[in-house]
């Protein structure tokens, strides 16, 4: 890229408005994204936790934060101010920020539409009845409805692009299906009105209409071969699955240490506790299954030993709210057979950890689309527990490839 081109693309970036369509728009992460963006624009908070706010990413013509416009779907009708109030009480959002950002929050809320209830989610609190009705429609009608929402958003808000981001609660685990193996088989199943998980419908609706898709959840989304094929065919970038925010993040930093030093991991036990709506949903064994697979795979792959004794547990502890607390115990053997241990306790707000990564991924997905990339965005592997592509779970290796990508595109 020559300097002139760079300048013009930078200028173009600065002028464009990009839409962020949040699936799960009334949840804690969405609330942190909305108030956080408002706070960043008003200089009320600093961009702590935002990877793209620093070098070398500042050298890229990423869409400026003030040009991001929020909208989204949700299956419940809990007011955003109620979500914000809970986050204030749980010491995640500052009350002054909430007051100062009231106008931005109102504007966002006005653009939230009823989402599609996943068939397995019957007992949701504050359920939006329309979400239930949409959830029962044949898949082609669901898709049409979602695309109409995306299009109306793009038109009304005068957007150059809309990025769809799934930050809804984890869906119930589904076994792999035959129709997921190819796009043709999947299209046929849609024609035959075979119901699909909501996350898959969202991914199909987004990718098929040319919207980049970010799956921050462990739900299926665009991870199936059929949708990967669709993204390639349509030339759309997408990434996922399952944001790597806390305990797994620490795991994927520590596990390579044991491998590098040839210390033999005998057992790695991880116990997670959380009390937010995500935790409540994970309290159900079917939903938990999706999450645990995602968390355990990384460790086994990193240690290079499929038989190593590992365990990942998640418990719902309501009083902790959004403050995920995790304890990991690593039992290992060193030279001479000496047995040693490392244990750690992680205490962090899941939503405040996730929100800046969502913003980072939106900016990177927009840049990738602008740059003509399609498919799984392998450079984003460090953001995910189960990266769609990227080869390793080693955080430092993943992050090095992100930096390399940024430097390559910033360069020349």
Residue 355 within binding range of a second copy, rule CB under 8 A: yes
* Omega before residue 140 within 30° of 0, cis: no
Pick from 79, 285, 318, 411: which binds a second copy (CB under 8 A)? 318
Site for a second copy in 16-35 (CB under 8 A): 32, 35
State which of positions 96-155 bind a second copy (CB under 8 A): 97
Q: Which is nearer to a second copy, 28 or 219 (CB)?
A: 28
CB of residue 130 to a second copy, shortest distance in Å: 31
Q: Quick one: which of 119, 124, 195, 342 contacts a second copy (CB under 8 A)?
A: 342
Q: Least Å distance between CB 379 and a second copy?
A: 14
DSSP strand pairing (161-166 vs 213-215)? parallel
- Based on CB atoms, which residue is closest to a second copy, 32 or 62? 32
Q: Confirm or reject binding of residue 307 to a second copy (CB under 8 A).
A: no
Q: Is 43 in the site for a second copy (CB under 8 A)?
A: no
Site for a second copy in 64-83 (CB under 8 A): none
Q: How far is the CB of 278 from a second copy (least distance, A)?
A: 16
Q: Which two tokens stand for residue 177?
A: 């299906």
Segment interacting with a second copy, rule: CB under 8 A, options 76-84, 90-98, 209-217, 366-374: 90-98
From the list 4, 48, 110, 125, which residue makes contact with a second copy (rule: CB under 8 A)? Answer: 48
Instruction: For residue 339, state whether it binds a second copy (rule: CB under 8 A).
Output: yes
Question: In the window 370-389, what residues touch a second copy (CB under 8 A)?
Answer: 382
Check residue 284 for interaction with a second copy (CB under 8 A).
no
Cβ 162 to a second copy, closest distance in Å?
Answer: 23
C-alpha 357/C-alpha 354 separation (Å) is 5
The answer to whether the beta carbons of residues 186 and 179 sit under 8 Å apart is yes
Cβ proximity to a second copy, 39 vs 197, nearer residue: 39
Please report whether residue 315 would count as binding a second copy according to CB under 8 A.
yes
273 binds a second copy, rule: CB under 8 A: yes
Among 54, 123, 175, 372, binds a second copy (CB under 8 A): 54
Q: Which of 2, 4, 158, 319 binds a second copy (CB under 8 A)?
A: 319
Rounded least distance, CB 326 to a second copy, Å: 10
State how far the Cα of 411 lies from the Cα of 119, in Å rounded to an integer. Answer: 48
Residue 95 as a binder of a second copy (CB under 8 A): the answer is yes
Q: What is the CA radius of gyration of the chain?
A: 21
């Amino acid at each position: 890229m020559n300097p002139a081109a760079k300048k013009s693309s930078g200028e173009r970036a600065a002028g464009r408005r990009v839409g962020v369509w949040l699936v799960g728009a009334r949840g804690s992460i969405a609330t942190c994204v909305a108030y956080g963006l408002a706070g960043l624009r008003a200089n009320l908070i600093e961009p702590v936790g935002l990877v793209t706010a620093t070098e070398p990413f500042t050298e890229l013509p990423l869409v400026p934060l003030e040009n991001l416009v929020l909208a989204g779907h949700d299956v419940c009708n809990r007011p955003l101010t109620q979500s914000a109030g809970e986050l204030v009480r749980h010491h995640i959002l500052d009350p002054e920020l909430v007051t100062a950002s009231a106008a931005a929050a109102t504007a966002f809320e006005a653009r939230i539409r009823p989402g599609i209830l996943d068939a397995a989610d019957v007992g949701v609190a504050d359920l939006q009845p329309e979400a239930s009705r949409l959830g029962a429609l044949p898949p082609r009608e669901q898709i049409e409805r979602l695309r109409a929402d995306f299009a109306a958003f793009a038109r009304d808000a005068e957007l150059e692009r809309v990025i769809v981001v799934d930050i809804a609660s984890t869906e119930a685990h589904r076994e792999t299906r035959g129709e997921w193996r190819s796009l043709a088989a999947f299209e046929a199943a849609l024609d035959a009105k075979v119901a699909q998980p909501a996350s898959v419908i969202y991914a199909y609706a987004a990718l098929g209409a040319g919207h980049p898709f970010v799956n921050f959840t462990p739900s299926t989304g665009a991870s199936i071969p059929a949708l990967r094929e669709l993204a390639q065919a349509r030339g759309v970038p997408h990434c996922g699955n399952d944001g790597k925010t806390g305990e797994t993040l620490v795991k994927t930093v520590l596990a390579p240490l044991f491998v590098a030093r040839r210390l033999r991991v005998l057992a790695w036990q991880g116990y997670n506790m959380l009390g937010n709506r995500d935790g409540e949903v994970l309290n159900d064994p079917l939903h938990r299954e999706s999450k645990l697979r995602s968390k355990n795979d990384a460790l086994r792959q990193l240690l290079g030993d499929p038989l190593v004794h590992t365990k990942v547990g998640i418990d719902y502890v309501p009083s902790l709210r959004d403050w995920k607390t995790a304890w990991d115990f690593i039992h290992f053997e060193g030279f001479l057979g000496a047995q040693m241990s490392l244990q750690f306790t992680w205490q962090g707000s899941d939503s405040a950890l996730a929100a800046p990564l969502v913003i980072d991924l939106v900016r990177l997905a927009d840049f990738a689309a602008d740059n003509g990339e399609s498919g799984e965005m392998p450079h984003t592997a460090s953001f995910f527990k189960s990266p769609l592509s990227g080869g390793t779970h080693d955080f430092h290796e993943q992050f090095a490839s992100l930096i390399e990508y940024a430097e390559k595109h910033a360069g020349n």
